[in-house]
């Protein structure tokens, strides 16, 4: 029987738990959060899922100390500001084989480098939950874009959480283009920062652009005060695709079909439909479709540095870490 730990039972963590409740291999689940209210909500959401005989036991704990001495898979779904300390405590007290981190993983390059050392010292395999790599629609687009890795990705919409969510789209372009080296230009971000919906964190609006080493380009725009739906545009020399994830509609044109537009419907899976699939892949095969930690580290660091400098410029103060989650 495999032992799975979930650390962080908030909004995202409780959705991970709902998915783990559907797992198809025998497991013992342990959920850790110092906030008893969060544990209560997580328990309620877990109970919304039909009983599953594969879940032999589930414990709700307030401290890492209560976890099993050996954990096969741990999902770390805390806020970013405490995640490195949680990770340090976890690996100092427990033997863990596999870890999936929520993003933003950490808030500074220093934390990433120290984490790499601990990961290597403890022989842990780690991934980051940038889940669009699991979406069928993006795997389909990647397949039909094969042959030209120079890809343009544009995202535009109203107040969609640029600081919190941009790494998902940077990761998506890395997945499609098979490139991890890029530079960002954030000069077109709005000269103002906003308090995030998560207390103690900052959000930004406006536009930034990036250029990858293979010539791929990314442009992300979050329009302050707008309710404009978020539109995703992906193109290269072979394909043009426009996606509306909210409505589940894709418009795809291909050079080989004389650029005739084909409209199709697709589904964006919820986190509560994904985590158990990742857990099964990892526990049964030692790998999964998510982004490897080292690759995600390369993608996080230019972004964190650029956003941190922008926030410092706007607020006329220095930060040790980039205050986003």
pLDDT digits (tens, 9 = 90+) for 226-247: 999 999 999 999 999 999 999 9
Structural domain span for residue 90? 2-129+273-289
> Is 320 within a domain?
no
Average pLDDT for runs of 10 along the chain of length 325: 97 97 98 97 97 98 98 98 98 98 97 98 98 97 92 97 97 97 97 88 97 98 96 97 97 96 97 98 98 98 97 96 96
CATH number, domain with residue 168 = 3.30.360.10
Same domain, 252 and 284: no
Same domain, 40 and 115: yes
Please give the Cα distance from 33 to 198 (Å, whole number): 17
> Is 325 within a domain?
no
> Is 324 within a domain?
no
> Is 125 within a domain?
yes
Number of domains in the chain: 2
> Is 160 within a domain?
yes
Same domain, 119 and 156: no
pLDDT of residue 140: 96
CATH number, domain with residue 52 = 3.40.50.720
pLDDT of residue 141: 96
Same domain, 92 and 163: no
pLDDT of residue 198: 80
Same domain, 46 and 81: yes
């Amino acid at each position: 029987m495999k032992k799975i730990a979930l650390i962080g039972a908030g909004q995202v963590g409780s959705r991970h738990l709902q998915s783990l409740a559907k797992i198809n291999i025998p497991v013992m689940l342990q959920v850790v959060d110092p906030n008893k209210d969060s544990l209560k909500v997580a328990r309620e959401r877990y109970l919304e899922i039909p009983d599953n005989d594969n879940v032999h036991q589930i414990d709700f704990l307030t401290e890492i100390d209560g976890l099993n001495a050996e954990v096969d898979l741990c999902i770390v779904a805390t806020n970013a500001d405490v995640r490195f300390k949680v990770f340090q405590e976890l690996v100092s007290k427990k033997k863990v084989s596999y870890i999936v981190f929520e993003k933003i993983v950490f808030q500074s390059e220093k934390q990433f480098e120290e984490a790499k050392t601990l990961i290597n010292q403890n022989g842990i395999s780690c991934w980051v939950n940038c889940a669009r790599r699991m979406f069928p629609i993006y795997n389909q687009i990647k397949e039909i874009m094969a042959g030209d890795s120079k890809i343009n990705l544009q995202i535009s919409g109203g107040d969609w959480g640029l600081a919190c969510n941009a790494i998902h789209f940077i990761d998506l372009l890395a997945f499609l283009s098979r490139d991890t080296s890029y530079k960002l230009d954030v000069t077109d971000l709005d000269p103002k920062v906003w308090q995030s919906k998560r207390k103690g964190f900052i959000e930004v609006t406006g536009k930034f652009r990036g250029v990858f080493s293979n010539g791929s380009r990314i442009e992300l725009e979050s329009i302050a005060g707008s309710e404009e739906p978020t539109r995703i545009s992906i193109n290269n020399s072979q394909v043009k695709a426009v996606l509306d994830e909210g409505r589940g509609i894709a418009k795809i044109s291909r050079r080989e079909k004389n650029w005739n537009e084909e409209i199709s419907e697709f589904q964006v899976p919820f986190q509560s439909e994904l985590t158990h699939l990742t857990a099964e892949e990892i526990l049964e095969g030692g790998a999964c479709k998510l982004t490897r930690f080292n690759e995600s580290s390369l993608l996080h660091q230019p972004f964190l540095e650029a956003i941190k400098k922008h926030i410092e410029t706007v607020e006329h103060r220095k930060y040790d870490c980039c205050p986003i989650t």
